[in-house]
A and B are shown apart, each in its own frame.
Chain A
Amino acid sequence: MEPNVTKKHPMEEQKPAERVKNFSEVPYGYNMETAIAEAERCLECKKAPCRQGCPVEVDIPAFIGLIKEKKFGEGVFALKDKNNLPAICGRVCPQESQCESFCVRAKKGDSVAIGRLERFLADWELEHGVDVPELPASTGKKVAVVGAGPAGLTCAGDLARMGHDVTIFEAFHMPGGVLVYGIPEFRLPKEVVRKEVDYIQRLGVKLRTNIVIGKTITIDELFTEEGFHAVFIGTGAGLPTFLGIPGENLLGVYSANEFLTRTNLMKAYLFPEYDTPIKVGKNVAVVGAGNVAMDSARTALRLGAENVYIVYRRSDKEMPARLEEIHHAEEEGVQFNLLTNPIKISGDENGWVKGIECVKMRLCEPDESGRCRPEPIEKSNFVFAVDTVVVAVGQTPNPLVPQTTAGLKTGRRGTIEADESGKTSRAGVWAGGDIVTGAATVINAMGAGKVAAKAMDEYLRSLPTT
């Protein structure tokens, strides 16, 4: 194949008309020939500007170079030196605003498809058998990681590779956090998550599910009764935000968290083979325009909705979702209603949703902060006839741990205060991911887990040996 210098090699994917009828993954991933051809586009710059865009500091030119040489096993090794969860990152990282945005190729045309190449290598390994690196001798130090999401899994994996004895505590019955309850199967197959979690466990990390830290065991008890030397809190931003408009408790109104948790974690899309049901009508309004909103809209289509409307109060430029997600949603027929603000949900005599009243908005001139505030246009009210509403306007940190841990400083929005290494106000306690930053991305949470692991390792090594 002739190397194409200005364009990324396209990745084959399921056709929109077909994929809206199933929950299978949309993009198929590169095959070997395409991966090698795409790798050839990499200039292997000495300075590797792409690396500054990676929150977990993957040596990008190194693994791409090894793809060129068809040394896939060694490529995986280079990749996993920094990233314990590459098959996940290759699928859900916003590469276009991270590594790829720094790529020299991006100055004239497309960047190298770093994310697709990462996925290719990670999938190659999952297919050919995952090797576990040699582990150092045990330090004898015990670390508790609270939450088996991206931050916790990364922190746990890194600490295990440094020789510590790590246990992850997870409230749900299954590890993965947002990777299993939030991100849909068609974007991140749960089998991929299972395999990457399996790798973390093979590094020696223990996993205890069905334990709600703050309820079943407190942070204090992890130190005093369970004998841990340090704790990492990665409990995420699990609390749904509602709009605070009339009618939000009508039947057929879901938080995106509930809608996605039922579908993904509880597999309601396979009801009645699985016991958990979900109700989706013919016409669905999804409020919000972030990745969670796109996931909800595309899920609603797959659950049989005929019309799915995104309702968002700002314009397309402000939509927080990744471009790729918006593009996929558009292709699948999601209808975007921008500069549209919901003000009331109305119901029928049995309490079921029958419509969502909205008002049209206009963006005023940007203020000093540069952001345009949307304002309602008078008498522009209208009603969408819908029977399901999914509210996807953000999540806030889960308060269970802060509420039950004395001396743990929190910020105004319920986040845990931590320094750049993730260190909190409590000795021996680190935190990272959405619980510190508020809702952000999988890779940022992973980056925080990684930084904390480094700092925790130093701390643990400074403790007297027992």
Chain B
Amino acid sequence: MYKLVTKRVLSDVSTLFEVEAPLVARKAKPGQFIILRIDEKGERIPLTIADSDPERGTITIIFQEVGLTTKCLAKKEAGEYIADFVGPLGKPMEFPEHPGRIIAVGGGVGIAPIYPKVKGFYKAGMDVFSIIGARTKDFLILEDEMRLVSKELHVCTDDGSYGRHGFVSDLLQNFLADGEPIAEIIAVGPLPMMRAIVNQTRPYGVKTVVSLNPIMVDGTGMCGACRVTVAGKTKFTCVDGPVFDGHQVDFDELVARSRMYQAEEKQALGHCRCGCGGEH
């Protein structure tokens, strides 16, 4: 059993937990993830390691309520326990080979997973220009934390309820256009956003990496549920990723595969055991 040490509600739909997992905390590196299961009947789901504290022996996870497991997890309180928590899994992120600016783009659900990467660059003494955006103000999280580790932070909302009115791609365009050399762009968010960003940067020939979050079961290369086509070859996100060269990723296939259990995901919400009743 793994103790949920602290809880912070970041927005109506986003929650942060620090989880007691000393062995994972000792090893975790930016870009890696964990797999958790709430109880005996639960599903195994992957979540990015948002932060780790080896001294306190904790791992921070941040998640948006998108399905049964995340909804039930959000109902938990500090001091409660979850059944399983395993990691760190996947490859740590790499640092860019070329000099120049690093631009981090986090959209909606992608803000949480981009944060540890920006922090990783920051700790390595690199300047990161960050862009975060969401549909509306309520979905915008970690603004203060992102500001602390970024050289510049640009914020936008689709509906103009906070920050600049527009999409993260609009803000990114300014960087692509201003002529300053860019070492790498890292984009994390919903699949349509990541696809839009890689299409946007492709003509500029700027290296653009994405961090993927497909359906997984074991997270150790055993099942192949998380397979993705990169540069024409099948890769397993859990062991070969989760970070890949975005210009090489087959997003059409990823989008299709993400819908594999759409019907079952809806059905599961009607059978929750935590009392959330699957409400939205």
Which chain A residues have a beta carbon within 8 Å of chain B's beta carbons?
A: 171-173, 181, 209-212, 215-217, 238-240, 242, 248-252, 254-255, 257-258, 261-262, 266-267, 271-277, 279, 350-351, 398-400
B196-227 near A? 1/0 per residue, CB < 8 Å? 00000000000000000000011011111101
Q: Which residues of A contact B234 (CB under 8 A)?
A: 242, 248-249
Q: Is B41 an interface residue when CB atoms closer than 8 A count as contact? A: yes
Chain B residue nearest to A259 (CB atoms) is: B223
* A239–B222 touching, CB < 8 Å: yes
- One of B87, B223, B261 near A255 (C-beta < 8 A): B223
- One of B24, B42, B87, B222 near A275 (C-beta < 8 A): B42
The 8 closest A-B pairs by CB, nearest first: A351-B256, A277-B264, A258-B223, A275-B43, A272-B271, A210-B86, A173-B84, A255-B224
Cα separation A255 to B222 with both chains bound (whole Å): 9
The minimal Cβ–Cβ distance linking B25 to chain A, given in whole angstroms, is: 10
Name, among B218, B227, B268, the residue most crowded by chain A CB atoms within 10 Å (CB to CB): B218
* A251–B222 touching, CB < 8 Å: no
Q: Which residues of B contact A209 (CB under 8 A)?
A: 84
Q: Is B85 an interface residue when CB atoms closer than 8 A count as contact? A: yes
* B220–A171 touching, CB < 8 Å: yes
Contact A216/B264 with A249-B257, A266-B43, A400-B221 known, Cβ cut-off 8 Å? no
- One of B23, B83, B217, B229 near A262 (C-beta < 8 A): B217
Q: Which residues of B contact A258 (CB under 8 A)?
A: 217, 223-225
Q: Is B37 an interface residue when CB atoms closer than 8 A count as contact? A: yes
The minimal Cβ–Cβ distance linking A210 to chain B, given in whole angstroms, is: 4
Q: Which residues of B contact A267 (CB under 8 A)?
A: 41
Q: Which residues of B contact A257 (CB under 8 A)?
A: 222-224
Q: Which residues of A contact B264 (CB under 8 A)?
A: 271-272, 277, 279
Contact A275/B86 with A261-B217, A262-B217 known, Cβ cut-off 8 Å? no
Cα separation A273 to B273 with both chains bound (whole Å): 9
Chain B residue nearest to A236 (CB atoms) is: B222
Interface positions of B from 88 to 124, Cβ below 8 Å from A: 88-89
Q: Is B27 an interface residue when CB atoms closer than 8 A count as contact? A: yes
Cα separation A350 to B252 with both chains bound (whole Å): 10
* B256–A251 touching, CB < 8 Å: yes
The minimal Cβ–Cβ distance linking A52 to chain B, given in whole angstroms, is: 35
Contact size class for B? 35 or more
Q: Is B52 an interface residue when CB atoms closer than 8 A count as contact? A: no
- One of A240, A266, A351 near B253 (C-beta < 8 A): A351
Contact A249/B23 with A215-B87, A273-B41, A275-B268 known, Cβ cut-off 8 Å? no
* A211–B221 touching, CB < 8 Å: no
Q: Which residues of B contact A250 (CB under 8 A)?
A: 256
Which chain B residues have a beta carbon within 8 Å of chain A's beta carbons?
A: 23-24, 27, 37, 41-44, 68-69, 83-89, 217-218, 220-225, 227-229, 234, 239, 253, 256-257, 259-261, 264-265, 267-268, 270-271
Q: Which residues of B contact A173 (CB under 8 A)?
A: 37, 44, 83-84, 86
* A400–B43 touching, CB < 8 Å: no
Name, among A216, A248, A250, A252, the residue most crowded by chain B CB atoms within 10 Å (CB to CB): A216
Additional 17 contacts, C-beta under 8 A, given A211-B86, A239-B222, A257-B222 = A171-B86, A172-B218, A173-B44, A173-B83, A173-B84, A210-B84, A242-B224, A252-B260, A272-B264, A272-B268, A272-B270, A275-B42, A275-B43, A275-B69, A276-B217, A398-B221, A400-B239
Cα separation A398 to B265 with both chains bound (whole Å): 30
- One of B44, B239, B265 near A266 (C-beta < 8 A): B44
Cα separation A400 to B87 with both chains bound (whole Å): 13
Contact A216/B27 with A171-B220, A255-B224 known, Cβ cut-off 8 Å? yes
* B223–A240 touching, CB < 8 Å: yes
- One of B42, B69, B89, B224 near A215 (C-beta < 8 A): B89
* A240–B43 touching, CB < 8 Å: no
Cα separation A252 to B222 with both chains bound (whole Å): 17
- One of B222, B239, B253 near A249 (C-beta < 8 A): B253
**21 A-B interface contacts by CB (under 8 A):** A171-B220, A212-B87, A216-B86, A216-B87, A238-B222, A249-B229, A261-B218, A262-B217, A266-B217, A271-B264, A272-B268, A272-B270, A274-B41, A275-B42, A275-B268, A277-B267, A279-B260, A350-B256, A351-B259, A398-B221, A400-B239
* B259–A240 touching, CB < 8 Å: no
The minimal Cβ–Cβ distance linking A234 to chain B, given in whole angstroms, is: 15
* B88–A215 touching, CB < 8 Å: yes
Q: Which residues of B contact A275 (CB under 8 A)?
A: 41-43, 68-69, 268
Cα separation A251 to B263 with both chains bound (whole Å): 13
Name, among A171, A212, A238, A351, the residue most crowded by chain B CB atoms within 10 Å (CB to CB): A212
* B222–A277 touching, CB < 8 Å: no
Q: Which residues of A contact B89 (CB under 8 A)?
A: 212, 215
The minimal Cβ–Cβ distance linking A261 to chain B, given in whole angstroms, is: 5
Cα separation A214 to B206 with both chains bound (whole Å): 34
* B260–A251 touching, CB < 8 Å: yes
Chain B residue nearest to A252 (CB atoms) is: B260
Contact A277/B268 with A173-B84, A351-B257 known, Cβ cut-off 8 Å? yes
* B221–A238 touching, CB < 8 Å: yes
Cα separation A261 to B216 with both chains bound (whole Å): 11
- One of B41, B83, B88, B220 near A398 (C-beta < 8 A): B220
* A261–B221 touching, CB < 8 Å: no
Cα separation A181 to B217 with both chains bound (whole Å): 11
- One of A212, A274, A398 near B86 (C-beta < 8 A): A212
Contact A251/B217 with A215-B88, A216-B86, A258-B224 known, Cβ cut-off 8 Å? no
The minimal Cβ–Cβ distance linking A37 to chain B, given in whole angstroms, is: 42
